[in-house]
Structure 1
Amino acid sequence: MSAPVDERISDEIEALEAILLDDVVIKKVDGIPKIIETVVHPSTGDDVDQQYVCVTLEVKLTPKYPEDSPDVALRNPRGLDDETLATINSQITKRLKECAGQSIVFELIELIRENLTESNLPSGQCVICLYGFVEGDIFIKTKCYHYFHSHCLASHLIAGEKYYQEELDKLPNWQQVQAPPYKQTCPVCRCHVSCDVEALKRAPHPVESTTAPPFSLTAELKALQKHMAALLARQIARGGVVGMGDTGPPPLTITTASDNEDEATNGATCSTAPPPKPPAARPAVKDSSSERDSAPGSPQARAPYKGPYRGFNRRGKPGRRPRGAPR
């Protein structure tokens, strides 16, 4: 039989469910609420497309809640950098101390929503061009809450479709028919996205890409080049470099009998130097068995087989279990 639930907790949960409806999840153990979870978005009215950031608030109710403060954690932040998350966490800690002994979950939701409304612009960098998001940039938010400059995402999707088509053309016709069609995916999490590539392509380039100063070889880059050159020289001295100018042995290649014959023929026709003399053989004791084996017509004297390799003989034999049959 489950223990009775504190009336203050029941009232708080009822209020949260009435306000947030399906946006709040109450996890219970033996009928007792243990975890309250909800995804918090910035306040943008009814325009959901303008919500560029979000975070999941997880509140674990302690056994003596609300007298004791609950355990609060922010999960799955989208569009928020570490500095913004640290600011929100510090404000949550302060609010928990100020409201000890009171129901605090809804106040925490409002606190986070205020911060998200002020930071309703994706922070960090576009993973395609590695430039940040600044005022004047035209960017897009995917369903998985990842952000890219519109022009960058268009270039990425066009290149991805081109690569897919090139790989598809290498397949035989029967595999091309069975291959699935190309699907647009998020560059970060590979989730399926649906974008109008032509509309994205018409967007301007990122602002920072047009205003960035031209590249110049600074003293820091020169020092880095010198350091990397020293590392390369050390690796060459230790014999651990494989790349351009490598004078080591050629890589192992697989040849056939016909290739060996062609190589021998080419070597015989193109070579002008006399063949090397074989080393002097050691005197050996004659053996009747060795003479018999090397006699014409013996198996050892037969020429090696140079025909095509036909694999193992897999014909069924009496008493042999067929492949795939139960033991």
Structure 2
Amino acid sequence: MSQQERVQEELEALEAILMDDISITYNAKGCAELVKSVIFPSTANEVDKQYVCVTLEVELPQDYPDCKPVTRLKSPRGLDESTVDHLYKEIANKCEEYIGHAVIYELIELIRQNLTESNLPTCQCAVCLYGFSEGDSFTKTQCFHYFHNYCLAKHVTVNEKNFLEEQDKLPAWKRSTVGFQATCPVCREPISCDGTKLKTSLPPKELQDAQKFEVTQELKMLQQKMQQLFNYQKSKGGIIDIEAEENKLLLITNSEDNNSEDPGPSLSSSNPPVEQQPLHNGLQNRNHNQRHYSKYSNR
């Protein structure tokens, strides 16, 4: 059996087993070059309990299966970096073991087994930045992002309040007719959630056990050093006071005044400038000393 026939036989078997869970990309010559599959943990028919997933991409070199394929893990959901790194090591070992043999199905099953064993999000809640402990109530959004129910309730409540306040500022004809739509705090995709149920959830365990923040002596000393640095930078012009800049005046001159042999009275003269305009930005201020600003009325 030729090499191409071996690959085609493997792909046909994969399509028969996985059906819509696998996609195959072919090149112009009709040879398979990329196999992609979204992998979930095994939870029987309880899809709502699939808390993690990852997309496996297998790039097939010309010499496959007599050489190792190129593998990539894309869009990991509920998995932290250490878990993904562990999967890459397991995949590398499996590819090394199966050189000369069909390996794609073995890789899919390897990843599925790992996901099933750790079917609890190992990432952090993007709202409170704490992890998920056993017993915490959490939500998996449709976009496969994870939040403690308590934290998601806070996020949705604040966003709904802001939405209603912004709507009140608009004229009636500009207001939304759809109403408030909760969105994912990570990717901003629309999500559906039961706000009433979320609000009854307890805070996550790590948040409850967290040490209360206190301003230590070390932090106070650091604040003093930063204040000194701020004052030094300000005294050297390194920090621009926007309010002060807007109140400065720019004196405008013309070419006739520039060519005049008589420089006219100094800026300290009692004769007032003829024309003054506000200096609006820092760029004009920096060029202030490079231009002629004095214009005085003819006596």
TM-score range, shorter chain: 0.7 to 0.9
The percentage of aligned residue pairs carrying the same residue is 45
The amino acid of 1:112's aligned partner reads I
Alignment of 1:233-252 (within 5 A): 233-241=231-239, 248=244, 251=247
* Partner residue, 1:271: none
Q: Label 1:38 to 1:279 Cα distance change in 2 as closer, same or farther (>3 A).
A: closer
Using the alignment, how far apart are the partners of 1:214 and 1:283 within structure 2?
71
Instruction: Give the aligned partner of residue 118 of structure 1.
Output: 117
Indicate how the Cα distance of structure 1 residues 97 and 219 shifts in structure 2: closer, same or farther if over 3 A, else same.
farther
C-alpha distance after superposition, 1:90-115 (max 9, x if no partner): 11111111111110001111111121
Alpha-carbon shift at residue 184 of structure 1 (Å): 1.2
Instruction: Report the alpha carbon displacement of residue 180 of structure 1 after superposing the two structures with TM.
Output: 4.2
Residues 1:36 and 2:35 aligned together: yes
Shift of 1:5: 6.8
Closer, same or farther: CA 231–133 of 1 in aligned 2, 3 Å: farther
Tell me which stretches of 4 or more aligned residues in structure 1 moved more than 6 Å: 280-283
How far, CA to CA, are the matches of 1:23 and 1:119 in structure 2?
Answer: 21
- Which residue does 1:197 correspond to in 2? 195
Residues 15-50 of structure 1, C-alpha deviation per residue, up to 9 Å, x if partnerless?
A: 111111100001111322111100111111211111
Q: Scaled by the length of structure 2, what TM-score is found?
A: 0.78
Among candidates 223, 227, 230, match of residue 228 of structure 2:
230
Aligned position for 2:46 = 47
- Note the C-alpha offset of 1:283: 8.0
The 5 A counterparts of 1:36-185 are 36-176=35-175, 180-185=178-183
Q: What is the CA-CA distance between 1:241 and the residue it aligns to?
A: 3.6
Residue 16 of structure 2: aligned partner:
18
3-state DSSP of counterpart to 1:109: helix
> Deviation of residue 242 (structure 1)?
5.3
Letter in 1 for 2:244: G
Partner of 1:321: none
Aligned length: 254
Q: How many angstroms apart in 2 are the aligned matches of 1:99 and 1:5? A: 15
Could you list the runs of 5+ residues in structure 1 that have no partner in the other structure? Answer: 253-277, 285-327
| Pairing of 1:211-290 with structure 2 (within 5 A) | 211-218=209-216, 221-241=219-239, 248=244, 251=247, 279=271
1:295 is aligned to none
- Pick the structure with greater CA Rg: 1
| Aligned residues of 1:5 and 1:32 also touching (Cα < 8 A) | no
- Matched residues in 1 for 2:35 and 2:82: separation? 25
Match of 1:322 in 2: none
The equivalent residue for 1:209 is 207
2:58 aligned counterpart, secondary structure:
strand
Judge conservation of contact 1:69–1:96 (CA < 8 Å) in 2: yes
Deviation at 1:59, TM superposition (A): 0.5
2: CA distance, partners of 1:28 / 1:282 = 82
Q: RMSD across aligned C-alpha pairs, in angstroms?
A: 2.5
| 1:8 counterpart letter in structure 2 | R
- Note closer, same or farther for the CA distance 1:279–1:107 as it changes in structure 2 (3 Å cut): closer
Q: Does the C-alpha gap of structure 1 residues 247 and 99 become closer, same or farther in structure 2, counting only changes over 3 Å?
A: closer
CA distance in 2, matches of 1:179, 1:50: 35
**CA distances 1:160-191 after superposition (whole Å, capped 9, x unpaired):** 11111101111112222x65422111111111
The aligned counterpart of 2:266 is none
